[in-house]
Every structure is written in structure tokens, then in C-alpha cells.
């Protein structure tokens, strides 16, 4: 019998980094059973003890940032400065969870009268499964792992096959910090291992990934009473009004479109620009993109990295070809670059419309379409012409107008004069095909618990 294994490749060079032993159905079942057995004792650890564990985890992330960032860069092709930003960016999220966990799940005493006392308790779900994406593995992994552990759950964590070494680092550091090994289990493998984990007795399925896989996850647990949370893709639109500082708006939005080589759920994917400033905006935008440094992801000044998954190159190529065939203009980029590794030029398309795939389907790469609009109403109509609803934004000097327009846009997060931004204090959620449920914010702690209603009549 051959043992299951997983090859870890470097997408910037195509080289094999290592081959890992992978899980199979039997090892997944054993890990799930061990997590189930270990969870009650972990839930019984007082909050101060769990917070102390997370303090040690936080300290280890900081102490080992060089190693962690290098691994992340090698297995995903993310430029090293961005990898460091990601590890550093995790720290305030951990701080938020540590500060807020106790208050978020404290018993709530909601009524006293006529001899009745009513209170709400928040109890851990039990064993939660976290199936994760690769593009920001520290963020999307720990948005679940940290609050789930703080609220007393055991976690089965299936990192993406494109970020498994990072998933193993996270698991190793949590164990070293004091989370019992059975309480925090890493499952190594592809989607098949995720599917095997979904077949186990679990109390919550928390997924970050594509809409197509999200539908499969929902179907897999549909017959069972498993709490389901899906954080899926987006086609995030931004609107630039005529009253902006055009250069500043173009620079901000070019960063929002190209940061992480456009491989972000909240990367800017569509931009609508008022006709009065459209041409100037495109000029500044293209100049900004032209100045973005592409190169060895291990070099500190590289900004554009590799495309993590090879098959995505075809998606990007097809979107460009479809747009050009339908009359779009290529302002810059548009091509797969020669290997080794998987690389695509930062690409800006103008003269686009919603008949083109690039304005309808998630690109998840360094491609953006810029469309001219004549009014606020046209911009809002186009922003809402999508099956997704993750983030959306408006650039304008007029705060009242921004608030008015953003209230009309269907998105879980809305931005005024900023984009591609996540805050630990605010819930992160999607509308439409961008998902159900949420992480982050106070609600993103309570989501790992279920409410228990206490009706208490005193005998006196």
C-alpha cells in the first residue's frame, strides 16, 4: 500500500520544495475522534489560561517571523515584504480576540421579574472544521482558529494544499504555546482530505475559498445539523466620482487591484470612473502599475509576485482574450510571462462592459477592468450588477454622497476613499454568492458558540 503524499511546489520557480506525508480517510477519522475526546477538557480551561496560550503564540509569531515569511513566500510566490506584512498584520487580530473573547461569551442576564430570571449562555460548538484558502493563510486560518480555540472548541484545520507548510507552522506554534495536540489538529492534503473531514462528526464547518467549492461544502453537510459558514469570492467594484484627487485615487486603487498580485478576495476587480476624470484616472493608474516592481519574491522590493496556482494562468488569459474580442482596449500587460514558474503581467483593460467575463467573474489575479460612467446612478446600477457582494467602495470628497451611495450597494463591507481593507473590529461577511456567516468583530467570536437560554423560576 502506498502512503498518501503531497508535493509542495514553489510557484515562482516551479521547483519541488518538499513532499509531505498526507492524511487519508483513516487518519482523518482518528484525528477527528481525538479532537472530540479532548475538547471538553480544553473548554474547561479558564479564559485567562487560554489567553495566556494565545499570548505565547503571538510572541512566537513575532520571534520567528523571518522563517515564517520565507516559507510563505516560497510556497505561494507572495513577495517577502508582503509575507512579513501578513504575519505582522495577524498580531492586532490576535490582540482583538484576546481582549474581546471573555466579554463576547460572558453570560448575559436579560430579565428579572415575577420570580423569573432569564439569562443567555454561550457554549462552544464542540469540534469545528476549518477548511482554508491559500492566498492569506495566516489571516483566513487564524480568523477561525484563534477565536474558536479561545471559546473552547477543538479545531480540525485543513490548510490549502498551496499553503500547507504555513498551516503546519501555525499548528506547531500553537502546540508549542500550550494548545494540546489533540485539540488543534492539522489535516494535510488536497480537497479529498477536506471532503473526508466533512464526513466526520463535526459541529461546525468554516470554509474560506471559491464559490464552486463552497457549494460542495454546503451540499456535504446539508443532511446534518452542522453550523455552516462560507467565506467565498468577490468581484469587488469601486466607483470614482468626478470630485476626487485623481492621482491619489488612481494610486490607491492600483494598489488595491495589484496587492498580493491581485490574489485577494477583496482585491479591486472592477472600477467605474466618472467620464469627467476617466482619461486622467486611466493615465495615472497605468503609470502606477508600470512602476510596480515584479521579480524574485524573496527580494525585499518585489511587489508583484507569482501566480500561486498554475491553472489560474488560463483563466486570466481567457478573460483578457474574451474582453479584447468584445472590443476592450489593453492599456498595459495582458500576457503570461515565460517560466520558470507561473507569472502574469499586471493588466489594465479599458473600454470594458458587463458583456465581458472580466467584469462578471472573479479574476483572482493582477487584472482590472476600468469602465467609464456618466452618473452616480449608473455607477450604483453597475456595481450591483453581480452575483457577488463582498466589498465595494466610493472615492469622493463628499462624505454625505459617499454614505448615500454606499447604503445602496449590496456588499458585506463598504469603503469610502479606501479599499482592500480588513479590520479585526468589524465583521467580515459576504452577500449573495460571496457567502454566508462571518468572521472577525465581536460577532466573529460568538459565531463559534451556540446560545443557551436559561429560564429560572425561584421557588420563593
Counting contacts by CB under 6 A, is residue 158 touching ligand NAD? Answer: yes
Q: Among 135, 166, 252, 350, which residue interacts with ligand NAD (rule: CB under 6 A)? A: 135
Residues whose CB is less than 8 angstroms from the CB of residue 66 and which lie 6 or more positions away in sequence, other chains included: none
CB of 231 to ligand NAD, least distance (A): 3
β-bridge partners, 321: none
SS3 assignment, position 331? strand
Residues 221-260, one symbol each (x = binds ligand NAD by CB under 6 A, - = not), give: ----------xxxx--------------------------
Contact call for residue 443 and ligand NAD (CB under 6 A): no
Q: Is 445 in the site for ligand NAD (CB under 6 A)?
A: no
Catalytic residue among 142, 186, 265, 419: 265
User: Does 39 contact ligand NAD by CB under 6 A?
Assistant: no
Q: Is 160 in the site for ligand NAD (CB under 6 A)?
A: yes
Minimum gap (Å) between residue 119 Cβ and ligand NAD: 33
Catalytic residue from among 74, 86, 161, 231: 231
Distances (CA, A) of 5 to 169, 190, 272: 18, 10, 46
Nearer to ligand NAD, 32 or 331 (CB): 32
- Based on the shown chain and the rule CB under 6 A, indicate whether residue 13 belongs to the binding site for ligand NAD: no
Q: Which is nearer to ligand NAD, 42 or 428 (CB)?
A: 428
Q: By CB under 6 A, tell whether 134 contacts ligand NAD.
A: yes
What pairs with residue 343 in β-bridges? 337
Q: Does residue number 131 form part of the binding site for ligand NAD (CB under 6 A)?
A: yes
| Residue selected from 73, 208, 252, 413 as contacting ligand NAD according to rule CB under 6 A | 208
Looking at the chain, the number of H-run helices and the number of E-run strands are 14, 22
The residue with cell 484545520 is 157
Q: If binding is defined by CB under 6 A, does position 410 make contact with ligand NAD?
A: no
The grid coordinates of residue 382 equal 453597475
Question: What is the total count of residues that contact ligand NAD (CB under 6 A)?
Answer: 32
Of 47-66, binders to ligand NAD (CB under 6 A) are: none
Q: How far is the CB of 7 from ligand NAD (least distance, A)?
A: 14
Confirm or reject binding of residue 167 to ligand NAD (CB under 6 A): no
In 3D space, the residue among 108, 165, 113, 117 whose CA is nearest the CA of residue 138 turns out to be 165
Q: Prior bond to 361 cis, omega within 30?
A: no
> CA–CA separation, 150 vs 148, rounded Å?
6
194 contributes a contact to ligand NAD by CB under 6 A: yes
Catalytic: 142?
no
* Contact assessment for residue 264 and residue 140, using Cβ atoms and an 8 Å cutoff: no
**229 strand-pairing partners:** 206
Shortest Å, Cβ 403 to ligand NAD: 24
Between the CA of residue 408 and those of 369, 381, 392, 393, 416, what are the distances in Å?
Answer: 22, 9, 11, 11, 13
Closer of 23 and 376 to ligand NAD (Cβ): 23
Q: Which residue is nearest to ligand NAD (CB)?
A: 194
Q: How far is CA 388 from the centre of its chain?
A: 15
Q: Give whichever of 151 and 208 is closer to ligand NAD, judged by the CB atom.
A: 208
Contact between 137 and ligand NAD (CB under 6 A)?
Answer: no
> Distance between CA 448 and CA 204 in Å, rounded?
8
- Choose, by CB under 6 A, the member of 195, 313, 408, 414 that binds ligand NAD: 195
Q: Is 418 a catalytic residue?
A: no
Burial class (CB in 10 A: 0-12, 13-18, 19+), 39: buried
Burial 57-93 (b: 16+ CB within 10 A, else e): bbebbeebbeebbebbbbbbbbbbbbbbebbeebbeb
Applying CB under 6 A, the residues found at the interface with ligand NAD are: 131-136, 140, 158, 160-161, 190-191, 194-195, 198, 208-210, 213, 216-217, 231-234, 265, 362, 364, 390, 428, 430, 435
Q: Which residues are designated catalytic?
A: 231, 265
Amino acid at each position: 500500500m502506498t502512503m498518501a503524499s503531497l508535493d509542495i511546489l514553489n510557484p515562482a520557480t516551479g521547483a519541488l520544495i518538499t513532499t509531505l506525508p498526507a492524511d487519508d480517510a483513516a487518519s482523518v477519522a482518528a484525528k477527528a475522534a481525538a479532537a472530540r475526546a479532548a475538547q471538553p477538557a480544553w473548554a474547561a480551561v479558564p479564559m485567562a489560561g487560554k489567553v495566556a496560550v494565545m499570548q505565547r503564540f503571538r510572541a512566537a509569531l513575532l520571534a520567528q517571523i523571518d522563517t515564517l515569511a520565507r516559507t510563505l513566500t516560497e510556497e505561494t510566490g507572495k513577495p517577502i515584504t508582503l509575507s512579513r506584512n501578513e504575519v505582522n498584520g495577524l498580531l492586532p487580530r490576535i490582540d482583538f480576540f484576546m481582549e474581546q473573547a471573555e466579554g463576547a461569551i460572558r453570560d448575559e442576564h436579560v430579565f428579572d421579574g415575577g420570580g423569573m430570571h432569564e439569562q443567555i449562555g454561550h457554549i462552544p460548538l464542540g469540534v469545528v472544521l476549518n477548511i482554508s484558502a491559500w492566498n492569506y493563510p495566516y489571516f483566513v486560518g487564524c480568523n477561525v482558529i484563534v477565536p474558536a480555540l479561545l471559546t473552547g472548541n477543538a479545531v480540525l484545520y485543513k490548510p490549502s494544499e498551496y499553503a500547507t507548510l504555513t498551516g503546519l507552522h501555525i499548528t506547531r506554534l500553537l502546540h508549542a504555546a500550550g494548545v494540546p495536540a489533540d485539540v488543534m489538529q492539522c489535516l494535510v492534503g488536497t480537497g479529498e482530505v477536506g471532503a473526508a473531514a466533512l464526513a466526520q462528526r463535526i459541529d461546525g464547518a468554516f470554509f474560506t475559498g471559491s464559490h464552486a467549492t463552497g457549494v460542495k461544502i454546503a451540499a456535504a453537510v446539508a443532511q446534518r445539523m452542522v453550523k455552516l459558514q462560507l467565506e467565498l469570492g468577490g468581484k469587488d467594484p469601486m466607483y470614482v466620482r468626478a470630485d476626487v484627487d485623481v492621482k491619489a485615487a488612481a494610486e490607491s486603487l492600483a494598489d488595491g487591484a495589484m496587492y498580493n498580485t491581485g490574489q485577494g478576495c477583496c482585491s479591486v476587480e472592477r472600477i467605474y470612473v466618472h467620464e469627467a476624470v476617466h482619461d486622467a484616472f486611466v493615465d495615472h493608474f497605468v503609470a502606477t502599475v508600470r512602476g510596480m516592481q515584479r521579480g524574485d519574491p524573496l527580494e525585499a522590493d518585489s511587489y508583484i509576485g507569482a501566480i500561486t496556482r498554475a491553472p489560474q494562468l488560463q483563466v486570466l488569459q481567457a478573460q483578457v482574450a474574451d474582453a479584447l474580442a468584445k472590443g476592450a482596449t489593453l492599456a498595459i500587460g495582458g500576457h503570461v510571462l515565460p517560466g520558470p514558474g507561473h507569472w502574469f503581467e499586471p493588466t489594465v483593460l479599458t473600454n470594458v462592459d458587463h458583456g465581458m467575463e472580466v467584469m462578471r467573474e472573479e479574476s483572482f489575479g493582477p487584472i482590472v477592468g476600468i469602465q467609464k460612467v456618466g452618473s452616480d446612478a449608473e455607477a450604483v446600477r453597475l456595481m450591483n450588477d453581480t452575483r457577488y457582494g463582498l466589498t465595494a467602495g466610493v472615492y469622493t470628497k463628499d462624505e454625505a454622497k459617499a454614505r448615500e451611495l454606499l447604503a445602496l450597494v449590496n456588499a458585506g463591507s463598504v469603503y469610502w476613499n479606501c479599499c482592500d481593507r480588513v479590520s479585526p473590529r468589524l465583521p467580515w461577511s459576504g452577500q449573495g454568492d460571496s457567502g454566508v456567516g462571518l468572521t472577525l468583530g465581536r460577532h466573529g467570536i460568538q459565531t463559534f458558540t451556540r446560545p443557551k437560554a436559561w429560564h429560572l423560576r425561584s421557588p420563593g
